[in-house]
Structure 1
């Protein structure tokens, strides 16, 4: 039987992992101090140095008064205490250090309420299902959001669910986009069916989850003018490592139409310099794709790799600017555009898709305006159906004008 580790022993293991993951010395030093404080607290309360989740909660309550009565952001010292408890608990459970961002957290992990075993079974079911990684992450994330709603209503777990609670949850999504709401509620329906199938609940509450009809191609792509794109690219500080990275990423999306999931997963061996090509497995379709590595895109990537990319042993092209240097996640890449757009004063357009995906729209529109056939645009965009590409026709205004007939032409033909 494996011997149980003390808090002090776990802390040393965590520190070794943090050093391996290239956390900054200051971050490691802060963790060491907080871990010693946690160890002293537990020894005073129990006479031992063994960690439990309950002791972690009591420590945070006694030390910083967490959870707080008011809804507010954490201060840096408060976040340090919470990170310490999280890392000790995670290492005890998983034997690994997970990268956390407690600074902007308002609630402590433990969102499963009293349903830890149920959630663990659900997560295992999701992870083993034949779905894309993106779908799996969403099905877990959406259930976390549902449990956070339950906690806000003082519901202790899934066994206390009712039709009224489900209705209130659906009502709380008012104001969100129809597509987003549809996905959230579809995940909840999926979860309730899982609970019924596993005999965790006697009632299949999926019937009580309202259905949302979201029209296809509801969102109109944002119109990026050539001047706006030039302004956006010129606003990026290419003298900094992060700026070099962001510039290369935005060029990949604007010039080649890559999805952010493909940018995130782009590997160094995907860059076929001898052929001036980019070769990768497309995240959404699973197809191997080869695209020409345009000159300006290639030089931007070279500039980043040589002078901006951290010296880390990672097969991925784009890494975080701060230690530990890990591959850029899709969510982080998605925030790049917002940051630089705000910096150069380009406002979001109401009622239009305006995230990183809108830059793909800009590329598709440019190709359509140049007379490129829809089938070719679909292949470049990685669409398996022309229906997926058809929304881009909404923004080809000049093309539509060319198709318009004057009244005289109509009368002549008649």
Structure 2
């Protein structure tokens, strides 16, 4: 899809209207305007008319220069945050409340090749979270290269890579695997672009990391009902929390999809909820159950603050932005405690556990796997088979009978 081109003035105007809807103060919006004037001046110097993420990143590197991010003054970091707000709004149409994206600087000639590689990977559609992971790993590798006085990718050597990967032995298996995978792809990119004469990606050690699938955390049907019953619904927060937990428990929606649920997703006439899942991008259509519909209506009438935002569930206090998925995790944990439900280290206590629990209930009812897959919004049934291990009734049928042990066996042991 071709990205819409917008001038910086048009874009910042949209951001200001968005922030005004979130009840941002005039003084804070004024701070944003002041910071954006610097971006405007930079774009004029470069002769750029339209703003995009690359322009924002170029401005930030221009502001930092040869310094490190941690060495900047507070006002300079604030300017960077204001620039990131514009980029985030351009890409997502929203600004995350109380969350500022940390700028991971990748300076110098070697850092530029890393940024080029990230841009190359972005052309294949990697997510924003993956981009941040790439920057995090590259920042660590770039710091190691600096300590080793390596300022040019042509100075990378096999011994240097071996020394670097050796120190990764202190990391967890998952982190080590992430480092090696990203490093291997980057080194292959350098060779393909003709920046190095040797394909050093072949010299990155192989690791035998295999992500072990853990047993899904579940709660019984009675425990889930006890959780739902513990929510006191007389306050606006209680009405909101009740509706969100009910949607999670009854329909198995992921936390991100619940928090991003908008009015456009509710088809009241057909009693349906339709949406494109954030994780898979696949469209899903679920029944709008009567108790869920009643809970949403109760919240909209007597709990939701006045706002022009399209999202159904908002913060209780101003600014009334949509919720982050981590908030729903805190909500579920709160009511698990209130319901007196214990959870050990082996049993998770967030909204995803309610999703697992729904799968467990459907399995107990002998619901076919394709139907469960459709309810949970999986791309294929292979993902759904992951839940077969929690169907204790079916697993008992697979148990083998243990042959009886002759009394003589115990007599032989006692005589020793």
Q: Same fold (TM over 0.5)?
A: yes
Given candidates 283, 289, 293, the residue that maps to 1:294 is 289
In structure 1, the partner of 2:210 is: 214
In structure 2, the partner of 1:111 is: 105
Matched, 1:145 2:136: yes
Distance 1:184 1:307, change over 3 A: farther
> Retained in 2: the 8 A contact 1:270–1:279?
yes
Distance 1:141 1:292, change over 3 A: same
> Retained in 1: the 8 A contact 2:274–2:286?
yes
- Structure 2: how far apart are the matches of 1:202 and 1:299? 66
- Structure 2: how far apart are the matches of 1:200 and 1:82? 34
- Structure 2: how far apart are the matches of 1:306 and 1:116? 53
Q: Secondary structure at the match of 2:20?
A: coil
1:147-162 aligned at under 5 Å gives the runs 147-150=138-141, 153=144, 155=146, 159=153, 162=160
Task: Map Cα deviations across residues 150-189 of structure 1 (whole Å, 9 max, x no partner).
Answer: 4765838784763146415643531x6x5x7645643443
Distance 1:279 1:205, change over 3 A: same
In structure 1, the partner of 2:245 is: 250
- Structure 2: how far apart are the matches of 1:269 and 1:101? 22
Distance 1:237 1:186, change over 3 A: farther
- Structure 2: how far apart are the matches of 1:290 and 1:95? 28
What TM-score, normalized to structure 2?
0.67
Task: Map Cα deviations across residues 19-45 of structure 1 (whole Å, 9 max, x no partner).
Answer: 6413877755367579989x9xxxxxx
Q: CA RMSD in A?
A: 4.8
Q: Look at both structures and tell me which one has the larger radius of gyration over its CA atoms.
A: 2
1:220 is displaced (CA, Å) by: 0.6
In structure 2, the partner of 1:72 is: none
- Structure 2: how far apart are the matches of 1:374 and 1:31? 52
1:299 is displaced (CA, Å) by: 1.9
In structure 1, the partner of 2:268 is: 273
Distance 1:53 1:374, change over 3 A: closer
1:224 is displaced (CA, Å) by: 1.3
1:373-412 aligned at under 5 Å gives the runs 373-401=368-396
What TM-score, normalized to structure 1?
0.67
- Structure 1: how far apart are the matches of 2:116 and 2:105? 15
- Structure 1: how far apart are the matches of 2:237 and 2:223? 21
Q: Secondary structure at the match of 2:284?
A: strand
Distance 1:210 1:264, change over 3 A: farther
Given candidates 80, 89, 111, the residue that maps to 1:86 is 80
> Retained in 1: the 8 A contact 2:144–2:164?
no
- Structure 1: how far apart are the matches of 2:273 and 2:32? 46
> Retained in 2: the 8 A contact 1:83–1:100?
no
Given candidates 288, 305, 321, the residue that maps to 2:300 is 305
Q: Secondary structure at the match of 2:275?
A: strand
1:110 is displaced (CA, Å) by: 4.1
- Structure 2: how far apart are the matches of 1:122 and 1:166? 20
Distance 1:395 1:268, change over 3 A: same
1:283 is displaced (CA, Å) by: 4.2
In structure 1, the partner of 2:45 is: none
- Structure 1: how far apart are the matches of 2:336 and 2:80? 35
Matched, 1:121 2:121: no
1:70-81 aligned at under 5 Å gives the runs 81=75
Q: Secondary structure at the match of 1:291?
A: strand
- Structure 1: how far apart are the matches of 2:361 and 2:111? 50
1:360 is displaced (CA, Å) by: 1.3
1:128 is displaced (CA, Å) by: 2.5
> Retained in 2: the 8 A contact 1:56–1:85?
no
Task: Map Cα deviations across residues 285-310 of structure 1 (whole Å, 9 max, x no partner).
Answer: 54433221112222222233333334
- Structure 1: how far apart are the matches of 2:345 and 2:395? 22
- Structure 2: how far apart are the matches of 1:309 and 1:385? 37
Distance 1:402 1:152, change over 3 A: same
Distance 1:209 1:331, change over 3 A: farther
Gaps of 5+ in 2: 1-7, 38-58, 404-416
- Structure 2: how far apart are the matches of 1:157 and 1:345? 58
Gaps of 5+ in 1: 1-9, 40-51, 69-77, 409-414
In structure 2, the partner of 1:21 is: 19
In structure 2, the partner of 1:194 is: 189
